[in-house]
Amino acid sequence: MQLIALYHEGGFIMHPLLGCLIISISVAIEKIITLNKLKKDSKSISEAFNSQEKIDGFNQYIAQPYQAIKKFEKLGKAEVKENSSRLADQLNKKLSGSTWIIGTVASSAPFIGLLGTVVGIIKSFESISQAGKGGFAIVAADLSEALIATAAGILVAVIALILFNYIKQKSKDVMNQYNAELEENIENIFLNKEL
Q: Which of 83-92, 121-130, 159-168: highest mean pLDDT?
A: 159-168
Q: What is the band of 10 on the pLDDT scale with cuts at 50, 70, 90?
A: confident
For the chain, the domain total comes to 1
Q: Which of 16, 35, 7 is nearest to 95 (CA)?
A: 35
Q: How many whole angstroms separate alpha carbon 24 and alpha carbon 110?
A: 14
Q: What pLDDT is stored for residue 128 in this prediction?
A: 77
* pLDDT 10s digits, 101-157: 999 999 999 999 888 888 888 887 787 777 766 666 666 777 777 888 889 999 999
Say if residue 18 is exposed, middle or buried (CB neighbours under 10 Å; 0-12, 13-18, 19+). middle
8 A C-beta contact, residue 120 and residue 145: yes
Burial category of 73 from C-beta neighbours within 10 Å (exposed 0-12, middle 13-18, buried 19 and up)? middle
Question: What is the pLDDT, as a whole number, of residue 134?
Answer: 64
Cβ–Cβ contacts within 10 Å for residue 115, how many? 17
Strands, E assignment, 52-170:
none
pLDDT of residue 30: 92
Is the pLDDT assigned to residue 162 strictly greater than 70? yes
> Quick one: average pLDDT of 183-195?
69
Q: Is-contact 178 94, C-beta < 8 A?
A: no
Domain of 74, in residue numbers: 2-194
Write the pLDDT tens digit of every residue in 32-84.
998 888 888 877 777 777 677 777 777 777 777 777 777 766 767 677 777 77
State the Cα angle at 83 between 82 and 87, rounded to 5°. 120
Give the separation between CA 44 and CA 5, rounded to whole angstroms. 50
